[in-house]
């Protein structure tokens, strides 16, 4: 989970940085209208859940994990013999991933990335479809880095929502980090955006309260770029 901004929200005593330090601090996403959403920090640091496994089994290497956080998914893929690279703007997230045997870069997905156009699977899990606050621009960027035969595996909000907003990370004491653009997207909205970008929904599934979609190019078999 990451804000995806060039300016990391993990500076000084920012609540997100503190949560990433040990994986036990509670942190919330505070939206501009006052709503507060608890972030699943414990899940980011745990072994992949059964819902995560439903994503991992659909991954074909090489895999790019966008907003990798502490790296549970890219580390799991590496342990199974699939090359996976995590990217995140938060230095603590990248350091944690590397310390536990993963491969990660401190970088925004909108920066130049290794092997652009060659990733067979690109992950946007744990709400990372919200990175940058513009899902359409994010998906377009992900198309650029994905191989013509590749797939985007995306976790969306379980509710039917399409929202662009400004958010801040907040701890249990109300201490806030810097604001950043964010977005929340449900499956119907992702279907609409995918159609606009000439992407097809090749799979859609739920596990518990979590909802996932797989997007690919309709002409992927011919190697054509979307």
Percent of the chain with pLDDT strictly greater than 70 = 86
Question: Residue 63: which of 52, 75, 53 has the closest Cα?
Answer: 75
Domain count, the chain: 1
> Does 221 have pLDDT greater than 50?
no
CA angle in degrees (0–180, nearest 5) for 7-142-74: 80
Distance, CA of 4 to CA of 181 (rounded, Å): 9
Closest CA to 121 of 96, 84, 167: 84
For residue 75, what is the domain's CATH number? Answer: 3.40.50.150
Q: If pLDDT is split at 50, 70 and 90, which confidence band does 205 have? A: very high
pLDDT of residue 22: 58
Task: Tell me if 209 is assigned to some domain.
Answer: yes
Position 223 pLDDT exceeds 60? no
Q: What are phi and psi of 50, to 5 degrees?
A: -60, -35
Q: How far apart are CA 124 and CA 109, in angstroms?
A: 11
Q: Tell me the three state secondary structure of residue 121.
A: strand
In a domain, 56, yes or no: yes
In the predicted model, what is the mean pLDDT of residues 14-23? 64
In this model, does residue 6 exceed pLDDT 70?
no
pLDDT interval class at 27 (50, 70, 90): confident
In this structure, is residue 61 part of a structural domain? Answer: yes
Q: Is residue 23 part of a domain?
A: no
Please give the pLDDT value at position 18: 64
- Domain that includes residue 134, residue range: 49-165+182-222
Q: Domain for residue 53, yes or no?
A: yes
148-194 pLDDT, tens digit per residue, is 999 999 999 999 999 999 998 888 888 888 899 999 999 999 999 99
Q: Is the pTM of this model over 0.75?
A: yes
Is 13 a member of any domain? no
Percent of the chain past pLDDT 90, that is, above it, reads 67
Answer whether residue 83 is part of any domain.
yes
CB 69 within 8 A of CB 1: yes
Query: Is 31 part of a structural domain of the chain?
Result: no
């Amino acid at each position: 989970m990451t804000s995806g901004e060039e300016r990391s929200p993990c500076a000084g005593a920012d609540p997100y940085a503190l949560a990433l330090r040990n994986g036990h601090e509670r942190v919330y996403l505070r939206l501009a209208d006052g709503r507060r959403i608890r972030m699943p920090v414990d899940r980011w640091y745990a072994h992949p859940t059964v819902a995560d496994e439903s994503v991992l089994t659909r991954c074909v290497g090489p895999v790019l994990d966008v907003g990798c956080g502490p790296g549970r998914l890219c580390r799991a893929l590496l342990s199974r013999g699939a090359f996976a690279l995590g990217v995140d703007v938060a230095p603590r997230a990248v350091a944690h991933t590397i310390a536990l045997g993963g491969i990660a870069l401190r970088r925004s997905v909108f920066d130049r990335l290794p092997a652009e156009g060659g990733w067979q699977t690109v992950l946007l899990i744990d709400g990372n479809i919200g990175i940058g606050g513009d899902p359409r621009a994010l998906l377009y960027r992900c198309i650029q880095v994905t191989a013509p035969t590749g797939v985007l595996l995306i976790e969306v909000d379980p509710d039917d929502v399409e929202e662009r907003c400004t958010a801040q990370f907040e701890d249990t004491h109300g201490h806030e980090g810097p604001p950043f653009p964010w977005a929340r997207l449900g499956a119907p909205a992702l279907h609409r955006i995918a159609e606009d970008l000439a992407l097809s929904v090749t799979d859609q599934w739920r596990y518990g309260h979590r909802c996932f979609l797989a997007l690919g190019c309709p002409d992927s078999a011919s190697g054509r770029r979307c």
